Structure 1
Amino acid sequence: MKIFRLFFWVLAFFLANHLWATNDPSIKIKETSECVLEILYSESQDIDKEILAYLSKNYNLNIIIRRTLGRNWNKIDSAHQNKVVELIKRLVLRAYIDGMHGKMKPEIKYSKTRYLSKKRAEVPTFVYLSDKPLALTYRVGLVSDQWEIFDIVVENISIVLTYRNQFDAFFDNNTSEALIEKLETLLTNENLGKSLPI
């Protein structure tokens, strides 16, 4: 009986710790980042497709893109919405891949997850591309019991807010058709890795 009781408590302790671990968003972010970097520095001929497929399997990228577009989402014709989302995914990925080209593989250090509420958290990291670390924080939220990325803050600058402001300015005088043209033109930019203006 004592052996059974001991086994029960050991099992309960293991499950509790396993549940806590899987609920920590930093674990998934770390695993995803490591895999993306592995693909990025591989000899694959389809790096962009492989990274996009892997990211899409682990995160709903539409969430952060919709948050970036903000109220402008409703200004995009319904027939154009899917195309706009896919173009933004390709652009961000291209900019990331081109921007990392020729650079050494970065080292990423993770700080303790900050829980802002039951459904919101921040995962602070430091990315070492050179001697000076770059502060990068993932802002995440629970959606259908899964941690999803809501925003990425680089050196206290919100990626979502930065691009939302650009989309706001763009839609003051432009249509969703013009946005598609702009995004498609940007995809042909050979210096995309240096900046990604809308």
Structure 2
Amino acid sequence: MTRTLTRLTAALAGLLLAATAQATAPDAIIRDATDAVRADIAENFSTYQQDKAAFYAMVEEKIVPHFDTTYIAKVILGSHLKAASPEQIGEFETAFKDMLIRTYADKLLEYYDSIEIEVKPARLSGKRGTVATTIIRKEPGKPPIPIEFSVRQAKDSDEWKIWDIKAENISLVLNFRTQLDSEIKRNGIPQVIERIKAGQLVVGDEDNAE
């Protein structure tokens, strides 16, 4: 596992723990949801270990709706967005979402009780903002990991949604956009979508990009 992937894994684990409560401020969403999701895992840990489908379904239900997945897909596609049909954008959005769950949920299940998360007040400017957090690993000798959540308000509601995270100044979304740029240029969006679905392209894992 590369150093980049390790950082992003830890960052996404923090993000996955921070996604269910309805609250006005994005830092309140993160702070309140952390305890709720960890309590869910603690209560059902044995079940989730034996039934990963149930665990993935919980992640899908409680966490994914708090991502602005449509916006994330468009940012990752970047300059290729104009060439993508609405159907392809939707397929890419779904493939990316499923890849995140597939790649990081197992790590979340394994390490959910070995970290604590400190959340600072949100820094907001209009409909955009950031929430600085720190992941504190309980294992002796492991330094804390600063995590910054990028949030935006949905156009059709006041709900804040997460669209990116930065772990030690490494952006999850921009990192994957860089990975996929040459891949899309060579093979096109449909093939990239199929490779993501097949687990051949994983965010943060530059070795998987051809």
TM (normalized to structure 2)?
A: 0.70
Pairing partner for 1:142 from 153, 157, 160: 153
Task: Check whether the contact 1:39–1:47 (CA below 8 A) recurs between aligned residues.
Answer: no
Q: Which residue of 2 aligns with 1:30?
A: 31
Task: Give the letter for the 1:170 counterpart.
Answer: E
Q: Which residue of 1 aligns with 2:186?
A: 173
Q: What SS does the corresponding residue of 1:162 show, helix, strand or coil? A: helix
Pairing partner for 1:108 from 94, 97, 117: 117
Pairing partner for 1:160 from 164, 173, 188: 173
CA offsets per residue over residues 112-132 of structure 1, 9 Å max, x none?
2222x1222110001123331
Q: Which residue of 1 aligns with 2:94?
A: 86
Q: Which residue of 2 aligns with 1:76?
A: 84
Aligned residues: CA RMSD: 2.8
Task: Check whether the contact 2:70–2:90 (CA below 8 A) recurs between aligned residues.
Answer: no
Task: Check whether the contact 1:32–1:55 (CA below 8 A) recurs between aligned residues.
Answer: no
Q: Tell me, which stretches of 5 or more residues in structure 1 are unaligned?
A: 1-21
Aligned residues: 174
Q: Which residue of 2 aligns with 1:65?
A: 73
> Please, which moves more after superposition, 82-91 or 55-64?
55-64
CA offsets per residue over residues 90-111 of structure 1, 9 Å max, x none?
1111111133353352211112
Pairing partner for 1:125 from 126, 130, 133: 133
Identity %: 21
Cα distance in 1 between the residues matched to 2:35 and 2:72: 20
Determine whether 1:99 maps to 2:107: yes
Q: Stretches of 4+ moved more than 6 A in 1?
A: none
Cα distance in 2 between the residues matched to 1:181 and 1:141: 29
Q: Tell me, which stretches of 5 or more residues in structure 2 are unaligned?
A: 1-22
Cα distance in 2 between the residues matched to 1:194 and 1:154: 12
Cα distance in 1 between the residues matched to 2:123 and 2:86: 37
Q: 1:162 Cα deviation (Å)?
A: 0.8
Q: What SS does the corresponding residue of 1:23 show, helix, strand or coil? A: coil
Task: Check whether the contact 1:62–1:85 (CA below 8 A) recurs between aligned residues.
Answer: yes
